[in-house]
Amino acid sequence: MRIPQLRMEAMYAQLAISTEPVRLEITQPPAEMTIEQPPADMRIASVPARLTINQSQAWAAVNNKHVFQLLEDAADDGRQAALDYMERTAVQGDELMRIENGGDPLIEQAAANSEGPPLEFNIALVPPPFSVKIGYEPGRLDIDWHIQKPRIDVRVHEPMIHYKRGAVRIDLAQRPSLHIDVVI
């Protein structure tokens, strides 16, 4: 005896999954920057140093004088000689007026007038010390700076973002089925 059999064939469902990846692109354009540096303004003012040397007194000590100084000295000497002569003449005249007081004023005056003044001599340094006068005025230097600030201009660009969504597709690749047969 044969027993009928049931034969079942089942096909399971099959899914087909396909994906499309996400795409993200970011580009950053560079910033535009300009820098300008104005030059600094500099002013310099200087006063030169000054050295003065006056050696006229040293030259005068060795009798090397300017003609105007020689004339002035000669005039002073002449004036003094005239004053000395007038003084001596006045004194001698007074002595002669009083001849009655005794003494020999004529002999004394003749002896005094015939003799010259005593000669003077001395050892001296030529030119005398400190006869050259030196003067010094230091120089001066003034520097004035005026600094300019730099001019900086920056233009920033926003980043460019491109985004493409990803996708997941689920499809039914094979439908489920159940096939039942009866076999005798």
Span 114-137, average pLDDT: 82
Do residues 33 and 152 touch, judged by C-beta distance below 8 A? Answer: yes
> pLDDT, tens digit, for every residue of 31-83?
999 999 999 999 999 999 999 999 888 888 877 888 888 899 999 999 999 99
> pLDDT, tens digit, for every residue of 80-105?
999 999 999 999 998 888 888 877 88
Strands (E), 12-138: 14-20, 23-27, 32-36, 41-47, 50-54, 133-137
Instruction: Give dist(CA 25, CA 96) in Å, integer.
Output: 140
**What rounded mean pLDDT belongs to the chain?**
89
The predicted pLDDT at position 67 comes to 86
Instruction: Give dist(CA 132, CA 154) in Å, integer.
Output: 70
The predicted pLDDT at position 127 comes to 77
Q: What separation in angstroms does the CA of 15 have from each of 12, 18, 174, 175, 176?
A: 10, 10, 7, 9, 10
Dihedral angle sign, alpha carbons of residues 111, 112, 113, 118: positive
The predicted pLDDT at position 1 comes to 65
- Residue 103 half-sphere exposure toward CB, CA atoms < 13 A: 10
The predicted pLDDT at position 108 comes to 85
Neighbours of 92 (CB within 10 A): 16
Dihedral angle sign, alpha carbons of residues 77, 83, 89, 91: negative
What confidence category does residue 107 fall into, taking pLDDT thresholds of 50, 70 and 90? Answer: confident
Instruction: Give dist(CA 132, CA 177) in Å, integer.
Output: 136
What confidence category does residue 161 fall into, taking pLDDT thresholds of 50, 70 and 90? Answer: very high
> pLDDT, tens digit, for every residue of 22-32?
999 999 999 99
What confidence category does residue 159 fall into, taking pLDDT thresholds of 50, 70 and 90? Answer: very high
SS3 129: coil
Residue 123 has pLDDT above 90, yes or no: no
